[in-house]
A and B are shown apart, each in its own frame.
Chain A
């Protein structure tokens, strides 16, 4: 029960945060990925249901140039948070205590978050899988592959080329259309307080 809820939340989390992390903070993205791999047996993705399970398998990759901002752009990051909150009540959802809520209630709220954030995501990003093969296919990871694009798990021994099963095709932001944060506004305000007159 508990695990299932966590699994669901994690999926949402990954769904929204992975592109963001990868985009603005490559080292954080790497850390998250590592944490995910390490934690996968601990508390993270449980249910058999959806796509989320991270550990992808070795595979070849030639394309190389991901944009690498050196410094995290705080204003952009906060603006993305603001967008997700505005369109999908994202921060409200994560800040609320779900322990006392029933799965029905969490599910109902998740629909709001999912619909709104999905729209925002589609508006500002074009997402593509890193690998186009279907999950579960056997693929070959060639020599000189890019480890930021392919993470090897399981019995990692010897030298490439490796043969393995594609456990997760990955995500890549092919296009980013995130607008600049509006001028002259406090970027740290993720959602303004609302006062009904």
Chain B
């Protein structure tokens, strides 16, 4: 019997583990596990967060035992604070943003490709491996502290971005299995976790802060990603119900981009003064700018904060470069640069394609969070029909949120929260809507982990649950039955196999009967959409309107060459993943379709 509900925030830049005892009364708040980790070579310390960085040292680089952990004196790699710090000066051996790679279909996510673009003699791991090592570290840390209640026996919730598609979710589960976790695992979308944490922090008071007809916008601005979700407040049998009605796309844009932008702004000024900075100094400048930013945000009366870049050698005083970050630069670069005041019809600007692009993570090309927000709310107007009465009014060009919950480190800055609220209010005012209210009492850094643990307890039967089902609709590509024309590939129809909002535990079957050849791999193109919410099962759609994911495939076992008639099944599992299978209706034989994440 599990004794705890555990929540793991497996973040792009930081991870955390929160827990709550299942036998405690429902008001107990989730606590955080202090995570032992190597913080300096040869030194283990505990931190609330585990930086999601993996360092793969060279054979002679560190003294023996420098990476020893209390539970593994012979550890040969580092995860956490030391990995991040060491990796800043030896970047070719640092794995970072593994989570972003996990959701990027442009590479084979199971092959050893990280650290990305590092020399051939550096040991490499796959995005799945790296995620598994973070999870394994958390598991070991928990088990060292709770030998009588090992993590693998507890109820565990791992959070994923709402924007993760079925493949990225599956790979997250795979990483968990690799880390020895998985028997009692559930996935939860991060913005939902943030809202759960807010509900947990407010106790019953949350029912006073929102009413039926509220539409809550969760703005989750983390270190590396921006994640948006809409959650509607409805009513059923007299009690408030929460339903997640829309999720945004995966936007690789976060606080790290902002700190870097500040550093570049300051560097430009320094270079104009004739001071050149090398890479090492640039990192020190980025660090200094982050500190200065936090100080300026904390004290609105201050007009500037000094930034000092130390000399590289032993000459600290002679080699230091002193400058300062001014409020004007901060406002121009960060507030207006990343959160410009735009109209609700603004859309992210897509740059002209350059002939040669380097393969790598598809970072957002438009840094304006407000434009991404406008695009999200505008595109999700289709969700209006599914909302409880009173949320949407005819004649509006986008979905008007009535409340906003901020999450993620970036939103700790009041200036940035105020700017987002100002922009939302201006959009609403232009269409006769009301101002949004800000849901207070969140915990931007730790809410996701805590909300995940809280959700674990909700699943055990206590507290309000956010409904939602699948955040996308999914389609399988099937060739049209028509005369073959030499030289022209057969046309493909995308057939809806899992409709939008499909509930956990439910299953669908496509009526089409397909003939599959035994012994040969059968490969189907696979598609998804986050905005087509009315497509029923089996409807045929033009693939051009969808987002293509990794293909799905299976190889039927049996006497080679034989043809078997199968139907495709889809099941949205309790874990929160989508499982596809080919089933022979005659015999009941079932072949699981795997996501093929090998790059084309």
Residues of chain A touching chain B, judged by Cβ–Cβ distance below 8 Å, are 86, 89, 92-93, 95-96, 98, 101, 104-106, 108-109, 111-113, 115, 123, 179, 181-185
Partner of A182, one of B66, B291, B310, B322: B66
Tell whether, in the assembled complex, residue A101 and residue B317 are in contact, meaning their CB atoms are under 8 Å apart: yes
Closest to A87 in B: B40
A112 neighbours in B (Cβ, 8 Å): 308, 310, 316, 320
In the assembled complex, the CB of B341 is this many whole angstroms from the nearest CB of chain A, namely 35
CA distance A111 to B308 in the complex (A): 7
B291 neighbours in A (Cβ, 8 Å): 115
B235 on the A face (CB < 8 A): no
A86 neighbours in B (Cβ, 8 Å): 40
B421 on the A face (CB < 8 A): no
Partner of B65, one of A92, A98, A104, A184: A184
Tell whether, in the assembled complex, residue A96 and residue B322 are in contact, meaning their CB atoms are under 8 Å apart: no
Q: Which of B53-77 contact A (CB under 8 A)?
A: 63-66
6 contacts between A and B (CB under 8 A): A92-B316, A105-B320, A112-B316, A181-B42, A183-B42, A184-B64
B422 on the A face (CB < 8 A): no
Tell whether, in the assembled complex, residue A179 and residue B322 are in contact, meaning their CB atoms are under 8 Å apart: no
Q: Which of B63-97 contact A (CB under 8 A)?
A: 63-66
A184 neighbours in B (Cβ, 8 Å): 63-65
Partner of A109, one of B42, B64, B66, B316: B316
Shortest beta-carbon contacts, A-B, top 4: A182-B42, A108-B322, A92-B316, A109-B317
* Number of A-B pairs, beta carbon distance below 8 Å: 59
Tell whether, in the assembled complex, residue A92 and residue B63 are in contact, meaning their CB atoms are under 8 Å apart: no
CA distance A93 to B320 in the complex (A): 11
Take A92-B316, A98-B317, A105-B318 as given contacts and tell me if A183 and B65 are in contact as well, using a CB distance cutoff of 8 Å: yes
CA distance A109 to B291 in the complex (A): 16
Known: A108-B317, A182-B63. 13 other contacts (CB 8 A): A92-B315, A92-B316, A96-B315, A96-B318, A101-B317, A104-B322, A105-B320, A108-B306, A108-B320, A109-B310, A111-B308, A183-B42, A184-B65
B44 on the A face (CB < 8 A): yes
B322 neighbours in A (Cβ, 8 Å): 104-105, 108
Take A179-B44, A179-B45, A182-B42 as given contacts and tell me if A89 and B310 are in contact as well, using a CB distance cutoff of 8 Å: yes
Residues of chain B touching chain A, judged by Cβ–Cβ distance below 8 Å, are 40-45, 63-66, 291, 306, 308, 310, 314-318, 320, 322
Closest to A182 in B: B42
Tell whether, in the assembled complex, residue A105 and residue B40 are in contact, meaning their CB atoms are under 8 Å apart: no
A185 neighbours in B (Cβ, 8 Å): 42, 63
In the assembled complex, the CB of B46 is this many whole angstroms from the nearest CB of chain A, namely 10
CA distance A86 to B41 in the complex (A): 11
In the assembled complex, the CB of B93 is this many whole angstroms from the nearest CB of chain A, namely 12
B316 neighbours in A (Cβ, 8 Å): 89, 92-93, 96, 109, 112-113
Partner of B317, one of A105, A115, A123: A105
CA distance A62 to B392 in the complex (A): 71
CA distance A104 to B66 in the complex (A): 39
Q: Chain A: interface secondary structure? A: helix
CA distance A96 to B311 in the complex (A): 12
CA distance A37 to B64 in the complex (A): 46
In the assembled complex, the CB of A80 is this many whole angstroms from the nearest CB of chain B, namely 12
In the assembled complex, the CB of A8 is this many whole angstroms from the nearest CB of chain B, namely 13
A181 neighbours in B (Cβ, 8 Å): 42
Closest to B321 in A: A108
B317 neighbours in A (Cβ, 8 Å): 93, 96, 98, 101, 105-106, 108-109
Closest to A179 in B: B43
In the assembled complex, the CB of A96 is this many whole angstroms from the nearest CB of chain B, namely 5
Partner of A92, one of B40, B66, B308, B314: B314
CA distance A73 to B95 in the complex (A): 39
A182 neighbours in B (Cβ, 8 Å): 41-43, 63, 65-66
B44 neighbours in A (Cβ, 8 Å): 179
A109 neighbours in B (Cβ, 8 Å): 308, 310, 316-317, 320
B41 neighbours in A (Cβ, 8 Å): 182
In the assembled complex, the CB of B269 is this many whole angstroms from the nearest CB of chain A, namely 16
In the assembled complex, the CB of B473 is this many whole angstroms from the nearest CB of chain A, namely 50
CA distance A83 to B64 in the complex (A): 19
A111 neighbours in B (Cβ, 8 Å): 306, 308
* Residue from the set A101, A104, A111, A112 with the largest chain B CB neighbour count within 10 Å: A112
CA distance A115 to B316 in the complex (A): 14
B63 neighbours in A (Cβ, 8 Å): 182, 184-185
Closest to A98 in B: B317
B64 neighbours in A (Cβ, 8 Å): 184
Partner of B314, one of A95, A105, A108, A113: A95
B43 neighbours in A (Cβ, 8 Å): 179, 182
Closest to B319 in A: A109
B308 neighbours in A (Cβ, 8 Å): 108-109, 111-112
B42 neighbours in A (Cβ, 8 Å): 181-183, 185
CA distance A183 to B318 in the complex (A): 35
B45 neighbours in A (Cβ, 8 Å): 123, 179
Closest to B316 in A: A92
Closest to A109 in B: B317
Closest to A111 in B: B308
B40 neighbours in A (Cβ, 8 Å): 86
Closest to B278 in A: A196
A93 neighbours in B (Cβ, 8 Å): 316-317
B66 neighbours in A (Cβ, 8 Å): 182
CA distance A182 to B306 in the complex (A): 35
